[in-house]
């Protein structure tokens, strides 16, 4: 399959007051076009750092990152990001927050009415049509997260980078948005890199689950390829022995091979 995102021997350190902290070391990962990859690992192992490097928001200390045949050196419209802690502009409404991103990508190519329609469609997709004119301080944490998702989807990026996008949501909303994401990604054939803590979510959504070792100097520990046919149905999978085998493989990695580091 065609490689679309490629990380080669990527390392990242941070200079802190206590000296140099080596977060990642020697990360190699190659992601095919249209592939859905999740990153899983214990808190603090470096998942967000990997995602932010692909987003171009952080610069690698060593190694190379390529997206769509070009070296990554900064953010770009072909890579849409949903952050772990929703980052909406507080002085703008939900509509305004999404519209701003839509404008950045499609202004010049489309009319104002089309941009508005895109914005409304994205908000409808995440079930927020009723809240379009509310400001971030007037909506719940889960709703803010959904605005962030709508904003990224509305840009129709080639690569969708999601940092625990459903972490703050209740179980029902979470299941609904997972299904929506599966549907949207199925339709758009987007490449997705998603960070999650949730083993079931990882198995349900992924083509491959990248399991990271604990830091410092975290790296890719092992990869599980999930070969469950698509479209996937969460209810049918509940009784699928293959589904449970994948789940067990990830749990074993997290709780036997890479135990949670002492705080």
Ligand X SMILES: Nc1ncnc2c1ncn2[C@@H]1O[C@H](COP(=O)(O)OP(=O)(O)OP(=O)(O)O)[C@@H](O)[C@H]1O
- Site of interaction with Mg ion (CB under 5 A): 48, 84
Specify which residues 40 forms β-bridges with.
211
132 or 196, CB closer to ligand X? 196
Specify which residues 191 forms β-bridges with.
159
- 44 touches, from ligand X, Mg ion, none (C-beta below 5 to 8 Å by class): ligand X
- 46 touches, from Mg ion, ligand X, none (C-beta below 5 to 8 Å by class): ligand X
Helix (H, G, I), strand (E, B) or coil at 210: strand
Please name the residue that has the structure tokens 């990997």: 50
Q: Which of residues 20-79 bind ligand X (CB under 6 A)?
A: 21, 23, 41, 43-49
- 258 touches, from Mg ion, ligand X, none (C-beta below 5 to 8 Å by class): none
Cα atoms in the Cβ-side hemisphere of radius 13 Å centred on 53: 29
Q: Which of residues 212-231 bind ligand X (CB under 6 A)?
A: 215
In whole angstroms, the minimum distance from the beta carbon of 47 to Mg ion comes to: 5
48 or 206, CB closer to ligand X? 48
Specify which residues 218 forms β-bridges with.
24
Contact 21, 216 (CB under 8 A): yes
Specify which residues 64 forms β-bridges with.
8
82 or 98, CB closer to ligand X? 82
Q: Hey, what are 96's tokens?
A: 């305004």
Q: Is residue 16 within the footprint of ligand X (CB under 6 A)?
A: yes
- 142 touches, from Mg ion, ligand X, none (C-beta below 5 to 8 Å by class): none
Q: Which of 1, 9, 14, 111 binds ligand X (CB under 6 A)?
A: 14
- The residue range among 15-23, 101-109, 125-133, 140-148 that interacts with ligand X, by the rule CB under 6 A, is 15-23
Q: Hey, what are 226's tokens?
A: 């999930």
**Would the CA dihedral through 112, 159, 125, 82 be positive or negative?**
negative
Q: Is residue 137 within the footprint of ligand X (CB under 6 A)?
A: no
Contact 105, 77 (CB under 8 A): yes
Report the length, in residues, of the chain: 263
Q: Hey, what are 98's tokens?
A: 């999404």
Size of the site for ligand X (CB under 6 A): 14
46 or 165, CB closer to ligand X? 46
The number of helices, as runs of H, and strands, as runs of E, in the chain is: 8, 10
In whole angstroms, the minimum distance from the beta carbon of 230 to ligand X comes to: 27
Please name the residue that has the structure tokens 């409808």: 124
> Which residues sit at the interface with ligand X, rule CB under 6 A?
14, 16, 21, 23, 41, 43-49, 84, 215
């Amino acid at each position: 399959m065609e490689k679309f995102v490629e990380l080669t021997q990527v390392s990242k350190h941070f200079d802190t007051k206590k000296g140099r902290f080596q977060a990642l070391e020697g990360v190699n990962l190659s992601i095919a076009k249209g592939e859905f990859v999740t990153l899983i690992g214990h808190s603090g192992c470096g998942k967000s750092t990997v995602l932010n490097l692909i987003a171009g928001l952080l610069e690698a200390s060593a190694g190379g990152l390529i997206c769509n045949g070009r070296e990554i050196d900064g953010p770009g419209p072909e890579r849409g990001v949903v952050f772990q802690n929703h980052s909406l502009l507080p002085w703008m409404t939900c509509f305004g927050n999404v519209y701003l991103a839509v404008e950045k990508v499609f202004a010049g190519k489309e009319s104002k009415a089309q941009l508005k329609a895109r914005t409304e469609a994205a908000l409808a997709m995440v079930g927020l049509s009723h809240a379009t004119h509310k400001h971030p301080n007037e909506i719940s944490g889960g709703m803010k997260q959904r605005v962030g998702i709508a904003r990224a989807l509305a840009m129709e990026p080639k690569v969708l980078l999601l940092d625990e996008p459903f972490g703050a949501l209740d179980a029902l909303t979470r299941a609904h948005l997972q299904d929506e994401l599966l549907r949207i990604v199925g339709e758009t054939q987007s490449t997705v890199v998603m960070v999650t803590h949730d083993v079931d979510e990882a198995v349900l959504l992924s083509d491959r689950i990248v399991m990271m070792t604990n830091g410092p100097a975290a790296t890719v520990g092992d990869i599980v390829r999930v070969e469950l046919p698509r479209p996937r149905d969460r209810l049918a999978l509940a009784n699928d022995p293959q589904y449970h085998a994948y789940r067990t493989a990830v749990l074993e990695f997290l709780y036997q091979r890479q135990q949670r580091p002492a705080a």
